[in-house]
Amino acid sequence: DGGITQSPKYLFRKEGQNVTLSCEQNLNHDAMYWYRQDPGQGLRLIYYSQIVNDFQKGDIAEGYSVSREKKESFPLTVTSAQKNPTAFYLCASSIVADEKLFFGSGTQLSVL
Amino acid sequence: KNEVEQSPQNLTAQEGEFITINCSYSVGISALHWLQQHPGGGIVSLFMLSSGKKKHGRLIATINIQEKHSSLHITASHPRDSAVYICAVRSNTGNQFYFGTGTSLTVIP
């Protein structure tokens, strides 16, 4: 069964700590995205990658980092520099030449 | 200013009612998407449109490219339709998607 798997579903961060959110896809998609969702706001792009070993900043990249060492994996690290990390994080993927986005089930990150 | 505006923000309907959710956008697009987000948080794609009209079961989506407007209709609404519906557009000048803030629909039995 093809799809996108995000883990964990819930994550808690202590002050000063870096945390990493996992995103894995077995759809053979080239493009992968990380979005942040806050109540009352549309999804905002954090980072995206269209090819292995390459990624670009989105609108709200400050305080976040990513890597794309494998086509299937696009982990997001929320660093201690991100002062307001509490949000719902969604990973998505697509075929670059196609329009349709496929989403994971999301990770809710909260600050302790 | 948001590139994608949706209305209404919240909508409550009786089971069986006909529902319309509207979306307006201000950028040039290659396609418009209607997405559904259930309380668990995961998002599924309902429609992808670049012109005209698409129908899937009780759901109908239309787009008017000249007016930069799209509507999502649900006929004979059911409590299981309760979810947040999100309009998204893909810019025709890059790889960027823009998302509306969503319409929260509650269908009461």
Can you tell me the distance from the alpha carbon of B79 to that of B61, in angstroms, rounded to the nearest whole number?
20
Are A11 and A20 contacting, i.e. CB atoms less than 8 angstroms apart? no
Burial grade of A42 (CB within 10 A; 0-12, 13-18, 19 or more): buried
Are A7 and A106 contacting, i.e. CB atoms less than 8 angstroms apart? no
Please state, rounded to an integer, the average pLDDT across all residues of chain B.
94
| Residue A110 sits at the chain B interface (C-beta within 8 Å) | no
Find the residue in A nearest to B30 (Cα): A99
Measured CA angle at A92 (ends B90, A89), to 5 deg: 110
Quote the pLDDT of residue B43: 92
Taking CB atoms and an 8 Å limit, are B43 and A90 in contact across chains? yes
- Cα–Cα distances (Å) from B99 to A18, A20, B23, B30, B32, in that order, read 28, 25, 10, 14, 10
| Residue A79 sits at the chain B interface (C-beta within 8 Å) | no
Taking CB atoms and an 8 Å limit, are B101 and A104 in contact across chains? no
Taking CB atoms and an 8 Å limit, are B2 and A42 in contact across chains? yes
B79 phi and psi, to 5 degrees?
Answer: -50, -30
Taking CB atoms and an 8 Å limit, are A102 and B45 in contact across chains? yes
Taking CB atoms and an 8 Å limit, are B30 and A40 in contact across chains? no
Helix (H) or strand (E) holding A89: strand A87-94
pLDDT tens, per residue, chain A with 112 residues = 679 999 999 999 888 899 999 999 999 999 999 999 998 888 999 999 999 999 999 999 999 999 999 999 999 999 998 989 999 999 999 887 666 889 999 999 998 8
pLDDT per position as a tens digit, B46-73: 999 999 999 999 999 999 999 999 999 9
| Residue B61 sits at the chain A interface (C-beta within 8 Å) | no
Strand duo B29-37 + B43-49: pairing: antiparallel
| Residue A11 sits at the chain B interface (C-beta within 8 Å) | no
